[in-house]
Amino acid sequence: MDRTPPRPPAGPVRPLVWLLSRSTNLVVRLSGGDPDALREEITAERMRALVAENTQLTAEERTLIGEVFAAGERPLREVLVPRTEVVFLDAVLVLSAAARLAARSPHSRFPVCRASHDEVIGFVHIRDLLAPDPPEKDVPVGDLVRPVKFLPPSKRVLPALSEMRREGCHLAIVMDEYGGVAGIVTLEDLLEELIGDIRDEYDVQDAQARRLHGGVVEVDGLLNLDDFAAETGIRLPDGPYETVAGHIMAVLRRVPAEGDSVDAGGRRLAVARMDGRRVARARHDAQRLFYTS
């Protein structure tokens, strides 16, 4: 953790600093804000105006804060962890069985559901399951649930972060338009959208994008279209999807298979690895796509 003393507080950007996180020392230092400032409600438009009025910020600092605002405007549907990647625990599962399941997962919070994944009743933290003095091992995990928040997919990152912090919620369920579960977001997820990746020694290192030889870029199938464009310089067309995997499936009009490829800006975007029926990894390279008759 950076222990460099902060610059004198610049009052006009205090709301922005509060909204991000009192632990984000980088933003505190760059904006000159006071993380313990008054927790007042303020609109994104007003915060932009306050930043524009602040004469203490450098051009680089303004650019950084501008990027934070841009990220904060993204809807949750673009940043959520999709339900296919979420580990759900059945409410009737006994504690000992839930603990074994959680121990094999890289996650720390688990939605608890009844009957189906669309009936979430709360969540449990891995500490609840692996505590030194846990309840009886045959207690159903549904008896240990903590309250969970429900959010619409259209809600923006910045307001969602503000709302979750104000209410002390660490995990929220994102619902789709039909009342089903689309996925989840956590406070850490939302902060990472604003200030970059937050990793600790327990995180699984699986890069969303990595550069290989010959100009090939391998990406996670769940990479969103904006991040794909940033990594490859290729803007995939908009459609009824948010991810690279969704684009590939929409073009193929079927469940992809390893080796399948589609046109991406005149270049080849190929399925490198499948995870069940989902594109896990895809590779974009400099090879022109040749069409066959």
**What is the DSSP pairing of strand 149-151 with strand 181-186?**
unpaired
Average pLDDT, stretch 26-38?
44
Paired tokens of 166: 């104000």
- Give me the pLDDT at residue 149, please: 95
Parse the chain into domains and list their residue ranges.
11-73, 75-202, 209-288
In whole angstroms, what separates CA 72 from the centre of its chain?
A: 12
Q: Which of 62, 59, 67 is nearest to 49 (CA)?
A: 62
Average pLDDT, stretch 41-56?
62
Percent of the chain scoring above 90 in pLDDT: 24
**Is 274 within 8 Å of 257 (Cβ atoms)?**
yes
DSSP notation for 72-107: HTSBGGGTSEEGGG---EETTSBHHHHHHHHHTSS-
Confidence category of residue 256, pLDDT binned at 50, 70, 90: very high
pLDDT in tens, 88-105: 999 999 988 888 888 787
Task: State how far the Cα of 224 lies from the Cα of 76, in Å rounded to an integer.
Answer: 12
Question: Could you tell me the CA-to-CA distances from 84 to 24, 210, 258, 264 in Å, in that order?
Answer: 30, 23, 19, 25
Phi, psi of 89 (to 5 degrees): -115, 135
Please check whether the domain covering 75-202 is classified as CATH 3.10.580.10.
yes
What is the layout of strands, in order, in the sheet containing 171-175?
81-82, 181-186, 171-175, 149-151
CATH class of 209-288: alpha beta
Task: State how far the Cα of 285 lies from the Cα of 289, in Å rounded to an integer.
Answer: 10
Angle formed at CA 34 by CA 32 and CA 40, multiple of 5 degrees: 120
Confidence category of residue 4, pLDDT binned at 50, 70, 90: very low
Which pTM does this prediction carry? 0.59
- Give me the pLDDT at residue 107, please: 81
Question: Could you tell me the CA-to-CA distances from 41 to 14, 48, 49, 149 in Å, in that order?
Answer: 11, 14, 15, 20
**What is the DSSP pairing of strand 181-186 with strand 209-211?**
unpaired
Tokens 């549907």 sit on residue = 77
pLDDT in tens, 162-193: 889 889 888 999 999 888 999 999 988 888 77
Statement: residue 252 has pLDDT above 80: yes
Ranges of H-type helices in the chain: 14-20, 25-31, 44-53, 59-72, 95-103, 126-129, 157-167, 187-195, 225-232, 244-252
**Is 87 within 8 Å of 183 (Cβ atoms)?**
no
Statement: residue 20 has pLDDT above 70: no
Most confident of 47-56, 98-107, 128-137: 98-107
